[in-house]
Structure 1
Amino acid sequence: MTLTIESWRNDDLAIWRDQIIPAFEKQHPDIKVRFAPTAPTEYNAALNSKLDAGTAGDLITCRPFDASLELYKSGRLAALNELKGMENFAPVAKAAWSTDDSKVTFCVPIASVIHGFIYNRDAFAKAGVSPPTTEGEFFDVLSKLKGKLRLVPLAMGTKDGWETASMGYQNIAPNYYKGEEGRRALLAGKAKLTDPQFVEPFRLLAKWKPYLATGFEAQTYPDSQNLFTLGRAAVYPAGSWEIASFNKQAKFPMGAFPPPVAKAGDKCFISDHPDLGLGLNTKSPHAAQAKVFLEWVASKEFAALYSNALPGFFSLNKAPVELRDPLAKEFLTWRSKCESTIRPTYQILSRGTPNLENEFWVVGAGVINGTLTPEAAAQRLQKGLSSWYKPAQ
């Protein structure tokens, strides 16, 4: 019999087919596995259609928080509390795939991604600059890169919107609202998005504009990736998920630095966001075999295999993993230096209309484009949230 895995990670097809699945099948020759991804932008709709039609795969790759929670609530994902291996994950790792009261976990946590900045080491050496640690140093480095090199200092566009939220605001903002402390204050209604600690990151984003490429307003996410990997830009506001593809495409040595703090001596915070898990389709005709696969996914062996096959996707398993990739290692060191938090819009705060995450896409682009002030952006976000979220009212 063959198990089918539904996923949006179509760029990972070769890794699952050539490395991960053969390792499992070697131990379980009676169980075959097929990885069947859909394009990321189409995944949610395609998956729901398949689930409705009864044609979805046995195993469902789970997005974090609300999208997967809805699948569990509607009876599409099975509870996995009793699955062997779930004890290998701390409560914070399971939070993205658990009910709000934390009583039921419905996906095995696989990996998180970390935000920061990837840079061209050769460009930094030519400009005589070092990775910045503070906000002031950051803009000083960008100014020197712009003045001394014929390179774009920052590779980011505003066309796709989500870039400005994910690699922009959600990357740098935790240092200002103090990570989990600020995020939980928002959830509790004890803080507002118009408070200074949430507005200040928008002011910083507005200051990125002079360092972006000419025509950045029409620059897409793939454009940004190409600008950097072709050596035409010096710094890439990044998620660690870029590491594997950048390693293949860039012909220059790369380094990484965490989001700079406001001033020297400040505690640092990083967005260390749960990215994907794996769940069991309640209608799977092969539930017993699917659970065997999920138990393997919850193992230390899988954690090491996956983390090294896909550098930049960091295992959520409690077992320590020895990484081989130097850039991935650099990102991972930040966990021991800084406090981790998740993206502020992903848990609960994007359940209503307007959707807070999608609103961040719009206002982030507006602030960088110069069509929206930081204060107006924050007011729009808070007004939208207050319109449906009771604690924010």
Structure 2
Amino acid sequence: MKQFMLAALAASTILSGATLAFAQDKSLTIESWRNDDLTIWQEKLIPAFEKAHPGIKVTFAPSAPTEYNAALNAKLDAGSAGDLITCRPFDASLDLFNKGQLADLTSLPGMENFSPVAKSAWSTDDGSKTFCVPMASVIHGFIYNKDAFDQLGIAVPKTEAEFFAALDKIKADGNYIPLAMGTKDLWEAATMGYQNIGPNYWKGEDGRKALIEGKQKLTDADWVEPLKTLAKWKPYLGDGFEAQAYPDSQNLFTLGRAAIYPAGSWEISQFNSQAQFKMGAFPPPVKNAGDTCYISDHNDIGIGLNAKSPNQDAAKTFLSWVASPEFATIYANALPGFFSLSNTPVKMEDPLAQEFVSWREQCKPTIRSTYQVLSRGTPNLENETWVESANVINGTETAEQAADKLQKGLDGWYKPGAAK
């Protein structure tokens, strides 16, 4: 009898141990287009998660960026996609959610750490449901050559008048191109130009939402004025800027030939490795001293849950960790210039990145005006804004002509309140 009880106890122990191992031994796979940050996931992010959750193993399995959308859609349709889906912002991910391929994460623990603006790229149009955890945004502003500013005795400009006075001084000196930007690639003029300075005119989210709701038009003063200001950049862009491509602009700045670079924060890592001079950054100057400032703090990347994943609980555990301050701190410092969207401030180790992110304490954030709802039809407002921004800078169209074209194109397909 005693031997039987011991045998039963041993068997019970073995079975319970096996059951426990089975319950804890979960493997998760992350789909992503960001193959450039593979080592960050493998060496920093995944080890930090697995240390706190030893029963869950995570594999980061990226695709080539240009192939990601098609490859992911094929996998999702075939039922072979990974458990966790890295989410592009806005319509591409919204479409996956509407097809039932991304799970609803509205009530996921940790989602309360993000503002409605932070979640806007991965929420339904009415904001009632969220389907990806926000991971990072990029911020627009201006990166400048500190050595050049010091040599010329230029203070960091806070108003438009101070900005153009600085450009005049740089141009008069003749040793630097005042602004490193070209119009050949079109998107540069809109992204680094119009969407950079524009929020100060249309008042960020107020103007963006009013445009979607049909309460404002692109021909209104708040939308035309930034185009007028953009036109004033032409004399400061250097000879041949019309044929200057994006990599040319980057090189002009990092080689020390230009004093100011209209920027996205994604440039920080590359500029740190290439520039041989001290750099600083400033937000888009306001029109008048004392005006509220706005910054384009644009949602760039999130992560969601494959609705057909067999590991729902483990995947949600991982996603809640992604929503945590611990993840935010590791990710933002490993990729300076890609900033956490969490409500909890993250102290950046990189001084240039910290300068960018500090603007959140001074200015109101918004996203690019063309990205939500307004570029779903033909002509695509985002792409049209590229063209018109370049035309205005080149001087081939006036700001009013460009705005009129943009509004007529939008009117051709978009009816406010009827977005799908």
Tell me the TM-score normalised to structure 2 length. 0.87
Q: CA deviation at 1:225?
A: 1.9
Q: Does residue 272 in structure 1 map to residue 294 in structure 2?
A: no
Match of 2:255 in 1: 230
> How big is the shift at 1:167?
1.0
Q: Which residue pairs with 1:127 in the alignment? A: 152
Change (3 A) 1:11 1:204: farther
Map of 1:159 onto structure 2: 184
Deviations 1:92-140 (A, max 9, x none): 3222211123222110111222110011101111222121111122122
Once the 2 structures are TM-superposed, how far is the Cα of residue 316 of structure 1 from its aligned partner? Answer: 1.7
- 1:241 corresponds to which residue? 266
Q: How far did residue 383 of structure 1 move? A: 0.4
Matched, 1:182 2:189: no
Range with bigger deviation, 214-223 or 123-132: 214-223
Aligned partner of 1:138 in structure 2 is 163
Could you tell me which amino acid in structure 2 is paired with residue 31 of structure 1?
I
Question: What is the total number of aligned residue pairs between the two structures?
Answer: 393
Question: Displacement, 1:233?
Answer: 1.6
Aligned to 2:345: 320
> 1:59 is matched with which residue?
84
Residue type of the alignment partner of 1:164: A
Identify if the C-alpha distance between structure 1 residues 41 and 220 changes in structure 2 by more than 3 Å, giving closer, same or farther.
farther
Aligned partners of 1:93 and 1:316 also within 8 Å: yes
Letter in 1 for 2:304: G
> Which runs of 5 or more structure 1 residues have no equivalent in the other structure?
none
1:386–1:392: 8 Å Cα contact kept in structure 2? no
**Cα distance, 1:357 vs. partner?**
1.0
Question: How many Å apart are 1:22 and its aligned residue?
Answer: 2.2
Match of 2:313 among 288, 304, 308: 288
Map of 2:22 onto structure 1: none
Secondary structure at the aligned position of 1:315 is classed as: coil
Supply the AA of the counterpart residue of 2:415.
K
* Range 115-124 or range 93-102, more displaced: 93-102
Within the candidate set 117, 120, 130, 1:105 is matched to 130
Are 2:89 and 2:122, in contact at CA under 8 Å, matched by a contact in 1?
yes
SS in 2 for 1:33: strand
Deviations 1:20-58 (A, max 9, x none): 222223333443333333454543344334433444332
Residues 377/254 of structure 1: CA separation in 2 closer, same or farther (3 Å cut):
same
Report which stretch shifted further, 284-293 or 119-128. Answer: 284-293
C-alpha distance in 2 between matches for 1:392 and 1:372 = 31
CA distance in 2 between counterparts of 1:168 and 1:43 reads 28
Aligned-partner Cα distance in 2 for 1:34–1:145: 50
2:385 equivalent to 1:365: no
- Name the aligned partner's letter for residue 194 of structure 1: T
C-alpha contact 2:117 2:366 (8 A) present in aligned 1 = no
Are the structure 2 counterparts of residues 241 and 13 from structure 1 closer, same or farther at C-alpha, using a change threshold of 3 Å? Answer: same
Q: Does 1:86 align with 2:111?
A: yes
Give me the whole-angstrom Cα distance separating, in 1, the residues matched to 2:243 and 2:54: 50
Amino acid at match of 1:185: A
Relative to structure 1, is the Cα distance of residues 151 and 47 closer, same or farther in structure 2, using a 3 angstrom cutoff?
Answer: farther
* Residue 297 of structure 1: how far off its partner (Å): 0.6
Change (3 A) 1:245 1:134: same
Amino acid of the residue matched to residue 264 of structure 2?
G
CA distance in 1 between counterparts of 2:186 and 2:65 reads: 16
Provide Cα deviations, 1:64-106, integer angstroms capped at 9, x if missing partner: 2222111100122111123222222233322221112322211
Deviations 1:160-180 (CA, angstroms, capped at 9, x unpaired): 222111111010011111222
Identical residues among aligned pairs (%): 70
CA–CA distance in 1 between the matches of 2:117 and 2:160?
29
User: Where does residue 51 of structure 2 map in the other structure?
Assistant: 26
> Which runs of 5 or more structure 2 residues have no equivalent in the other structure?
1-25
Distance 2:273 2:179 in 1: 21
For residues 238 and 275 of structure 1, the distance between their equivalents in structure 2, rounded to whole angstroms, comes to 15
Change in 2 beyond 3 A, CA 1:29/1:232: farther
Of 353, 356, 373, the match for 1:348: 373
Partners of 1:255 and 1:347 in 2: CA distance: 31
Distance in 2 (CA, whole Å) between partners of 1:131 and 1:154 is 14
Displacement of 1:268: 1.4
Tell me the distance in 2 between the aligned counterparts of 1:29 and 1:219. Answer: 51
Residue by residue, what CA displacement relative to the aligned partner does 1:213-241 show, whole Å, maximum 9, x if unpaired? 43322322222222222222211111122
* Aligned residue among 216, 221, 226 for 2:241: 216
